[in-house]
Structures are given as C-alpha cells and as structure tokens.
A and B are shown apart, each in its own frame.
Chain A
Amino acid sequence: MNRINQKLQENKKLLSIYFTAGYPNIDDTVKIIQDLEKNGVDLIEIGLPFSDPLADGPTIQDSSTKALKNGMTTEVLFNQLKDIRKSVNIPLIIMGYFNPMFQYGVEAFCKKCQEIGIDGLIIPDLPVDVFHEEYQAIFEKYGLINVFLITPQTSDERIRFIDSISNGFIYMVSSASTTGAKSGFGDEQTHYFERINNLNLKNPQIVGFGISNNETFTAATKYAKGAIIGSAFVKHVTNEGIGTIDGFVNNILNG
C-alpha cells in the first residue's frame, strides 16, 4: 500500500509540512526531511521551485527564487533524494508547478519518483480534467497519488468529480487566497468545512493555507483529517535556520 494511504488510516490528526527544496541552502533537503520525520511530522511536501509560482504568496515566492539561484533543478533534487528511503519512511510528496515536470517529461518524472520512493504529487496548475484525460494512467502505472485542491468556491458537483478521481486525500484550501495569507478560521471556514463534511467524500481532507501555529492547526483539524503548514515553516527556516525544527514542530503540535 502507498505510504500516504497507510498514514491516512492512522487514528490521529495529521501534520503535513511543506518546504522549498534548495532553501535556505542547496544541500538542506535531506536534513530537513530527516528532522521533520524525527520530530513527529506525518507527511512532507517537498517544493520543487518554479520561476513563476502563481498560487504562492511572497514567502514561498522568495524561497523559490533563492532556491533557483542556489542551483536547484529537477535533476539536482532527484539526485539529492536518490537514497532518501534508506533513512526515512515518512510519506513524501513533491509539490511543484506543471511546466518543469512537463519539460522533464511527465512519464520520465513519474518513473523517477517511483524509483526514489516518492508517494504522491501536488501540481496546482494541472487541472483535474487534463490530468484525467492525459496523465492519470501514467500516475497509476508508477503508483503515484495525485492530490487535488478544492476551495470554498468549488461547487459540490466539481468536488464530487475531484473525489472520484482522487485516491489519497483532498487538499482543502481554507480560503480564497494564495499561500501564506493570514486567513484565520472564522464562520465562513466553519461553514465550508461543514459543507464538505456533509458530502461524505471517499477521500479524507487535509486543510492547507493560513495555518501557522497550534491554534490554527487545532481549528483546522477539528473537521479535517489533517493540516498543512507551508509559509510558516519557510519563514521559520528563513529566520532561525534549519537547526530548530524540533521546536517548531513541537509548538505546532503541543502549543
């Protein structure tokens, strides 16, 4: 069974952390993954940096620009990860925009992911219908789970379609925004989370965008299976470096 599906079966709320590969320093990738696993994180999203990250706010944009300056490429990332399964067992997801994967060759990219032991992909600008028509078979061939986003504006009908195509979890964007926005969790979110709950989807949901501390993590996971932290973690390594990941994770989980 895919490590993501295994993890989703555990009877607990899941914490997923995003970081930008190649940031703050080009060779930090493996150490960050190992530390996150060691400190009790459940899932990791490895950000493959892109020059034009449309769905990201300033924090992840900056980290991407710097990572590219540091020399990060698809090839470099794959090299860094080639022995990763010797040291960690945590589910790993690559999150990136479609163009770099498209240039690498979608099939070659998926094949490489399988070799390394990547479990899934999140590609915000690959629409679900294009995935379904052109790439789903390739993903399945290499045992990769593709994760789709939904937002408060996504219609029930479309959510059901996305649910039918998904085989891991659904990435529930907390509010209409780019990453890193401080959205807070008010009535609107509660309403939205309840609406999704009532749909009785076959895939569990993990909430992302606007989660930065224990309070927002707790609020988000009240309704969902887990929550994703991105910008707050990137900010943390910007300010503190990668030496205090334990403190960051502990803060999120225990306040």
Chain B
Amino acid sequence: MKLKVCGMKYQDNMEQVAALQPDYLGFIFYEKSPRHFDTKIPELPDTIKKTGVFVNEDLNTVIENINKFNLQAVQLHGEESPFYCNMLGTTKLLETPVEIIKVFSVKDGFNFEVLKEYESVCDYYLFDTKGKLPGGNGYTFDWSLLNNYPSTKPFFLSGGIGLDQVTDIKKFKESNASKYCYALDVNSKFEIAPGLKNVAILREFQNKLGNNTMEENYNVDEKGYYGEFGGAFIPEMLYPNVEELRQNYLKVMAEPDFQKEFDQLLKDYVGRPSPLYFAKRLSEKYNTKIYLKREDLNHTGAHKINNTIGQILMAKRLGKKRIIAETGAGQHGVATATVCALMGLECIVYMGEIDIARQAPNVARMKMLGAKVVPALSGSRTLKDATNEAIRDWINNPVNTHYIIGSAIGPHPYPDMVTRFQSVISEEIKWQLKEHEGRENPDYVAACIGGGSNAAGTYYHYLHEKDVKIIAVEAAGLGVDSGESAATSVLGKEGIIHGCKTLLMQTNDGQITEPYSISAGLDYPGVGPMHAHLAKTERAEFLSITDDEAMKAGLELCELEGIIPAIESSHALAIFKQKQFKPDDVVVMSLSGRGDKDLQNYIDYFKI
C-alpha cells in the first residue's frame, strides 16, 4: 500500500518527511485549514507526487496552482461535481496532466451509489471521516463499510489513521474490504503541531506497516549513525568542511537538475545500466542460479566511477575548485582523475609509496588524465596512510577543496552519500531481475567488502526486504589467523578510524594495524559503518576468503564465462566453494571490477 502524508506546511519539515520517501505529499490550499499551505515547496525527489488539496475552489485558481507548484495530483475535498472533475481532467490549460482524487466523507449509511457519476472522471477516490472541517479531523470510520464497495477504482483510506491503527490496518489489509485500497492517507495523528509532522513517528509507522520490511533501521539516522557505528569523529579543523557537506548533500542530490546530470552521465559516459548477466555455466557448476551485476563493464573498469561522478557534481554545486582523493590500488584514483578531467578541475591523488610501486599502470593512467599523484610517506605507506594524507590536505585547504572519499567510509555524511551514489547498482538490479525472473527480490545479494562501497550499493534497496539475505565477503589474506589478513568483521574491534566509529583492526592499545590481502582494494583495516552495523545485527552474513581461494575463483570465471574479474571481485566469486545454495536460489553478485589492473598479479600467481 502506498502512503500519502497530508497537510505539509513547513519547508524544512517537507524535506525531512520527503526523506522517508512517501508516495504522495499533500499541501492544503484551503485558507480556513490550520494546515493552510502558504510557502514554497522545496525540491523533492521525483518519486513523490505533490498533491494539492482544494475545497470548492474556483477551477482557474486550481489550475494556476497546479502549474505554479508543479503538482502531480489534486485532491478535491468539497462538493465538486463530476462536471468539475471532468473539466480538470480534460483542460488544455494544464502543463502536464494531474491525477484526480475525489474525496468522500464516509459515515454510517454512506451511499456508495454516489460514486457512479464519478467513475469516469477521476483516478482515485479517497474515503475520509465526516468532521467539522474537511480533512485532518483525527477520527477513523468503520472500515468494514468498505465491504460494500461496489467499484473497482483504487482508493485512498483516510481519517484519523495513526500508530495505534497499525494492527487494525494489518487486519484490514487481509480482509476483502481492502481489495481496492491503493494508499493510506495520514495527517493529524503524526503531528507535533498542525502542519508540522513528527518524522520519527512516521518512520515507525512505515516500519511497523511494511510486512516485508524489517523493523530495524539499516540506513543512517539523523545523527549520522548506523546503530552505534558512524558519526563524525573529526578534528575541529575539518568541522566547517564536513558540516557544509552534511547540510547540503541531500538537498543537492534532490535537485532535479542534479539528478538529471547524474543520470545522464551514468548513461552516456559510464555506460549504465550495467548488464545483469545470468552466468549459465557458473550456475550449472554450483547448481544454483547466479547473476552477475557487471560493474566491470563501467568506464574505468569498476563501480568506483558511480561515486566519483556523483561527488564531482556535488563539488561543483558547492563551488569547489580543487579535488583531492586517496587511493590504494589506484582504481578510485583513476576514477577521480577521470571525472576531474571531464570537469576541468584540479586533481591531487594521495597514494602510499608502496602502492605506487605495486600499481604502476594505474599511476600512469592518473598522470595521463592530468592528476598529480602524491606519495604518502608516513606510517605504513599504503591506503590508510594515503587517507590520512588526504585528510591532512583537506585540513590545510578548508575552503576551495572537496575530498572525494573512495568508499563508504569516513565521517558522516560520507558513508551515506557514497552509498546513495552507489545505490544505482541495486536500483537497476531490481528491474533487471524482474525482467529475468519475474521478481525484483533475489534470495541473496553478495559483494566483496574493502571499505564497502560496491557492497553498500548492491545491498541498498534490499536492506529492509526480509526475503533477501545479504552476504558480505572479506579478504582473509593468508588466513584469518595468520596475522596477514584483512577480515575486519572477525579481527576488528569497535574503534575510530578516519572520522567514524566502526569495526577496525587494531592492537589492544588502540593503534591501528596494517591489514594484508593480495587484493589492494580490500586491504583496509576498517569497514564502513553501515557494514559494521550489518555485522553486529547479523543482518548480513560475513564470509572470509583467502588469497588462494580468490585467485582460483577468478581463474574459474575466466574459464567458465569468459570474464576476467578484478581480484577484489574474485573474493566474492569464491563463496560458492564455501557455501551451498539451493538449486532454485537466485544469487545476485556484484562483479565490482575487471581484472586488467591485476594482470601482473594473475601472471605471477599462476606463472602464466
């Protein structure tokens, strides 16, 4: 059932409620209402239909307001005639057509016969309680009256719906009366004051109602935490930079302009949507259904570019002129250098001195793309130190510089922002899988985890779907107990790294230790806070894969499917030897990158 939140009055509150992604937001254009809408509507995601509520209003005024506020639906709350509805539905004065919702106040003895005349002139009915003023009365009516509903037109159920009705709504949903119930309409029971909605209670309502959704919240909360993980543990010197981003990132991402440019670049430049490929021979071998999400086919060869495209557009909107980034294997460095070239912005990439030596081709790529590669000479001279150096650079350049973090890590809002940019992965999986299998939800989603950005994007739209199991694959290096490993969920303890509280590998004294994996993209001593939360709540199953297991799985994919995977992705592929799936299980796996960058590693390992 869809959700409409009605009676929005305050702009900030509109944004907060929009973040919960209801299907409709209602604005009351009726002066006598205490929720009378008299301001502007901020930019809202396209998926939310802006609905104007009118009471016996002059038709021209309605049309003007529809055009002015770009409304997608109109809810008629007075004694508007079928003729009136028809005029509204057919007028040429509207820039784009609107959905017409006609309201009827239901009380004992309501005569459904009156609907007949409206059948052909509106899109939905809305059944409300009769009260002194139209709408927002806070009373429910006897929903069993709808057993006599004679129509097949979908309707909104309204009138005093609140948290207390969750059980009744669930019962109603199972009854015959709800057969044509399309949406719930809520208003006064979720308010702090008339027109000011209580976001926490709305969220609780959404959580409690969803029968296929989880009660626990796996997304970031208002304070920037995933359960107990996350936050922004940053020196005061970074506060203005991070705070500027925190205040703006959701707003900017919701701008239609921004969305349009982002989508366009993902399509034309990155080459999205990336295919969802049914790996037939691999599936046969492991006797289950394996789909590969082909992020390896993106421009620059990995998922990393989804994030750098998003962040470069963000940086531009924030007026930044200089871009910095950290990189381990060089994939994120290349993806950052690429988008900087695309946008003509200065680019500085920090890279551990040891990684520079190990990853020469990517260093050359970054240079060709015009980036300056600065060696990180401190500490262990690998990814974690490159990240430290990038953060230090940001401290020294607080005004003109944007730091493009390469994974779902760092201080809030980075983990959430990166996750949202990467969430295009699971957004596509949903419709692609529907085409293949007739259903949006697989039985499993699986991905490898370094910091966790490809995994976060692969899980995002499934986090709260109860029937989808989540598998996270970490690098065990030479073995979890060998002392040479990067299996953070097993070896890590709660702590603070690079500005967030998460699981990280450290000594008893709280010094961060150096991880090891054959794959440069997975040897990070922490995981993103979202994944720490998924591990702690056991929402995700964490598996560890050794160097040897990964390398063999990589070669197997070459032989069975003709695809050379990045060694990071090979870790995910290796789970089929560790875990038995059922023949009709659908497993969607993120193939996060291609193996070109790892050729030397494969050559050395297999003595090719």
Contact = CB atoms under 8 A, between A and B. Distances in A.
Given A102-B510, A103-B509, A125-B496, A55 B235 contact: yes
Interface of B: 231-237, 239-240, 378-379, 384-385, 388, 391-392, 395-399, 493-499, 506, 508-513
Interface string A49-92: 01111110110011001001000011100000000000000000
Contacts of A241: none
Contact of A100 (B235, B396, B399, B511): B511
Given A52-B512, A150-B236, 8 more contacts: A54-B392, A54-B499, A55-B237, A103-B495, A125-B234, A125-B496, A151-B240, A176-B399
Across chains A and B, which 3 residue pairs bring their CB atoms closest together, nearest first? A103-B510, A100-B510, A149-B236
A178 B510 contact: no
A206 to B, nearest CB: 14
A124 B384 CA distance: 19
Contact of B509 (A100, A125, A148): A100
A142 interface: no
B511 A158 contact: no
B388 A54 contact: yes
A128 to B, nearest CB: 8
Given A52-B388, A55-B237, A65 B398 contact: no
B232 A127 contact: yes
A99 B496 contact: yes
A178 B238 CA distance: 11
B254 to A, nearest CB: 25
Given A51-B379, A55-B395, A181-B396, A125 B233 contact: yes
Nearest to B513: A51
A139 to B, nearest CB: 17
Nearest to B496: A99
B395 A51 contact: no
B239 A127 contact: yes
Contacts, number: 113
A124 B511 contact: no
A173 B237 contact: yes
Contact of B235 (A58, A74, A124, A158): A124
Contact of B510 (A62, A101, A128, A149): A101
Contact of B392 (A99, A127, A154, A178): A178
Given A98-B233, A125-B496, A151-B237, A50 B395 contact: no
A178 B395 contact: yes
B368 to A, nearest CB: 29
Contacts of B391: 54
Interface residues of A, number: 42
Contacts of B392: 54-55, 57, 178
B494 to A, nearest CB: 8
B233 A68 contact: no
Contacts of A55: 235, 237, 392, 395
A177 interface: yes
A126 interface: yes
A153 B506 CA distance: 33
Interface of A: 50-55, 57-58, 61-62, 65, 68, 73-75, 97-104, 124-128, 130, 148-151, 153-155, 158, 173, 176-178, 181
Nearest to B378: A61
Contacts of A58: 378
Contacts of A68: 511
A75 B507 CA distance: 13
Contact of B495 (A62, A73, A99): A99
A178 B390 CA distance: 12
Contacts of A149: 235-237
Contacts of B396: 176-178, 181
Given A103-B508, A124-B236, A153 B398 contact: yes
Contacts of B493: 103
A155 B236 CA distance: 11
Given A65-B379, A99-B510, A176-B395, A148 B496 contact: no
B509 to A, nearest CB: 4
A130 to B, nearest CB: 7
21 contacts: A51-B513, A52-B384, A52-B497, A52-B512, A54-B388, A54-B391, A57-B392, A61-B379, A73-B509, A99-B495, A102-B496, A102-B510, A149-B235, A149-B237, A153-B237, A153-B398, A154-B240, A158-B239, A177-B395, A177-B396, A178-B392
A53 B237 CA distance: 13
Contacts of B508: 103
Nearest to B509: A73
B501 to A, nearest CB: 8
A124 B388 CA distance: 14
A103 to B, nearest CB: 3
Nearest to A126: B233
Given A102-B495, A127-B232, A153-B398, A74 B237 contact: no
A154 B239 contact: yes
**Among B388, B391, B392, residue most surrounded by chain A Cβ atoms (within 10 Å):** B392
Contacts of B506: 99, 103
**Among A52, A125, A127, A173, residue most surrounded by chain B Cβ atoms (within 10 Å):** A52
A96 B506 CA distance: 16
